[in-house]
Structure 1
Amino acid sequence: MIDLNVDDVRWLDKRVAPADQEALVERIDRALWAAYEAEDQAEEDAGAEGGDDDKPKAPSPLQDLIDLMERRSLALGARPETSKDLGRTDGYQEIARALHELSGPSGIGAEDLQNWLESNHLMNAGEVVSRSRTEAVPVQRLMRDLWDSILEAFEVAEVDEVGGTFRIPETAIHDIGNHDTLLERVQEGDGYSLRRIRVERGDEDDDDDGTVSVDDPTDRLTAGALVHLRGRSERTLAELYGKVRAFHHNLTNAPKILQDVRVLLYWSAAMLDAPLCQGEVKSRATAAFEQARAYYDTARRQLAEGRTVDAVRRMHEALRRISAAAAEIARSCGEGQIDIDVTPPHLPVRPEDKAAIEGGQVEARP
């Protein structure tokens, strides 16, 4: 193979017809190009320079199977919106959770976030997002760099406590609805949110240090908390936090490069609730699906930590094979097949595919 092109193929079975050989090589080429994230960026750059915006993207080798699973699951009576009920009591809550988690990106993409940041004069933050579209950066480092750039423009100050009284810069008090309000930066897991706290000013001090004493009747304010200074509107700050949080969610829960795998798993989960998928067969098909989804979740975490292009390509190809196997099992169940050739947890997974996803070594065969 040269770069992403299959250059030399040797066929062990001479009975494979030339037309079939050509078709197989073409599928391999398509798979490699679809897994290579840089192609998307090259197409975006060509469009930005006035290139061919209508240039067709290489289709995923899973696309035909995705279309089949969507078409057949709906024809067989599967109803994803109904199956998503987290309160279902039939023992298959994992199907509902899977449909929620695999339903797709819920927020803003890198390009849209970059445009929003730049339109709000956050050029350095926009540059951080721009670089992330072409460079492999661990998500944790990307978000740290992004917030560092944002906080250069949206300044914060630390709440101080002196003699049991909270003191803050006077410029940290926002007038929101005719109430003195603090906009606190709150960490929630790996992300951040904006919290509004109404406060009451204390008696004016003689000290001319630019600070004032405040009291929080709700007892939520703590010493060391970070609060935003005035300079940008509360509405802009709230919008910023919402967009960055949604961007972070997409990076960790619905990475773009694994979109085809995620969509195939979504329709596989939907197929498991087709009326003809019942009993022990449904239990085994669901177990196989859960195994495939666990590999997908592992891959998401690996991507968030940062991987080389070659490692991502191998991981993607492994996930495609695993998700396709789980989809075929789910389809057999949905079609009413009374037996399936799988006994959990034995979803067919190659040792090299397991190693590509988990980052380990290929287990030696006896």
Structure 2
Amino acid sequence: MPPLSLYIHIPWCVQKCPYCDFNSHQIKSGVPENEYIAHLLDDLTHDLQWIKYDSALRSIGSIFIGGGTPSVFSPSGIEKILNGIKQRVPVLENAEITMEANPGTVEAEKFEGFKQAGINRISVGVQSFNTEHLRILGRIHDTRQARDALSYAKRLGLNSYNADIMHGLPKQTLEQAMQDLSTAMKSDAPHISWYQLTIEPNTSFASKPPVLPDDDILWDIQQQGQALLSANGYEQYEISGYGLPEHRCQHNLNYWRYGDYIGIGCGAHGKITDLNSGHILRTEKVKHPKGYMDLSRSYLYKKHVVPKGDLAFEFFMNRFRLVEPCPIDDFEKLTFSKLSDKDQQTLNTACDKGLVTQTRTHWQVTDLGRRYLNTLLGEFV
């Protein structure tokens, strides 16, 4: 039975960032915190039907509260969510419980309140420590607030905390990118999510594209950044995830290892294995807050069984994000399907090109394969 996680989406932000294509909505007249929490817990109650096995509910191994900006909620609101979850479904005693927080919406007292509510891992959305880059990215915090937020997280004695850092920012130099990374590491953050800015459709940056560094600078940033992280003890375990020993994000690992997860809240996605039928079920919730909190309709926007022909693409889209080898047996165990001759030939070709290695027991994507991951995955479509 694959591990089970829970994702909770809180869709409100103080300000919509120009690069963001997540399901987020700018706060205009306050946040309906209590009303939304009641809907979240009702949504979870409806989803319990998907996680019953042998007349018992499966246990939650990790919880991730994302957004939006979850830290616009009060600590008491977060506590109400977590208590409501534990009243409805078993949660493992050592479960990793992460909440995203933006430096512009937190202070020391609020961080302490989140810990008291049950949060044991905080992901701080720093993005950059450079004043000009923060302005271009539309962030509401400044350099001091970014440093302070990481300092608060460190003093709390959490199980772990994460610094989100972007690179490849408009007009960013190699030196500026390395300075952002160095500052994050000096904060003693045990986990750093370090990822390249991409221009996504339906964003402000898509309609008015900024000038980004050229490919040579992007490549230098990637190579030198990875070397800097490695030299300071951070292990790369997935494309954008770097952690000190014992500080990998367990929730994200469950995603990439093709585990199961329930998704509650506006636009949240879920993936559940039906062990009786051998099907993989995908769910998606109503996206807009007004529609989601409309009592005349279901929280569920759509659900479908993943077609057998899509399983290889789905499986490798997740597993090949990870640096670790993937047991070949996992494909059949987790998809209830055998690898087709076409998909095996795709893997053979990828091995010939140096994108993947294959032994008798494992597949493993190479550094070159991660660089051209989208091209590699496209071969399974």
Q: TM-score band (shorter)?
A: under 0.3
Q: Which has the higher strand share?
A: 2
TM-score by length of structure 2 reads 0.22
TM-score by length of structure 1 reads 0.23
- State the structure with more CA Rg: 1
Q: Which has the higher helix share?
A: 1
- The structure with higher relative contact order (CA 8 Å, sep 6+) is 1
